Chains A and B, each alone.
Chain A
Amino acid sequence: MNDDLGARVRGDFPILARRVNGHDLHYLDSGASSQRPAPVIDAMDDYYRRHHANIHRGAHTLGDEATQMYEDARARVASFLHARDPAEVVFTKNVTEALNLVAKAWGGANLGPGDRIVCSTMEHHANIVPWFQVAAQTGAHVEWIPLTDDGLLDMDAAARLIDGAAVVACTATSNVLGTITPIAEVCRLAAEAGALSVVDAAQLVPHMGADVEAIGCDVLGFTGHKVCGPTGIGVLWGRRELLDAMPPFLGGGEMIADVTFDGFTPAPVPLKFEAGTMPIAEAVGLHAAIDYVDAIGFDAIRAHEVELLRYAFDRLDASFGDKITVHGPRDLGVRSGIVSFTLGDVHPHDLATILDQHGVAIRAGHHCAKPLMSHLGVMATARASFYLYSNRADVDALVDGLEHALALFEI
Chain B
Amino acid sequence: MTQLDDLYKEIILDHYRRPRSKGALPVPPAHRGHGFNPLCGDEVTVDVLVEDGRVTDVMFEGRGCAISQASASMMCELVSGKTVEAVAADFDLFRSMLGVDVGATGSEAAFEAGGEPGRQLGDAESLQGVREFPSRIKCATLSWNTLTGALAGEDEFTETDT
Contacts and interface: CB of A to CB of B under 8 A. Distances in A.
A105 interface: no
A357 B63 contact: no
B55 interface: no
A345 B65 CA distance: 9
B104 interface: no
Contacts, number: 52
Interface in B10-51: 10, 13-14, 17, 39-43
Contact of B66 (A347, A357, A379, A404): A347
- Summarize B's interface: helix, strand, loop or mixed: helix
Interface residues of A, number: 19
A380 interface: yes
A239 to B, nearest CB: 36
Given A350-B67, A354-B4, A357-B3, A365 B40 contact: yes
B10 A411 contact: yes
A411 B17 contact: yes
A188 interface: no
Contacts of A357: 1, 3-4
A409 B40 contact: no
Contact of A353 (B7, B10, B13, B42): B7
Nearest to A364: B40
Given A357-B3, A411-B14, A350 B40 contact: no
Contacts of A345: 17
A350 B65 contact: yes
Given A349-B42, A365-B39, A380-B40, A408 B4 contact: yes
Interface string A392-411: 00000000000010001101
Interface in A311-370: 345-350, 353-354, 357, 364-366
Interface string B131-160: 001011001000000000000000000000
A285 to B, nearest CB: 27
Interface of A: 345-350, 353-354, 357, 364-366, 373, 379-380, 404, 408-409, 411
9 contacts: A349-B40, A365-B39, A379-B63, A379-B64, A404-B4, A408-B4, A408-B8, A408-B13, A411-B14
Interface of B: 1, 3-5, 7-8, 10, 13-14, 17, 39-43, 63-67, 133, 135-136, 139
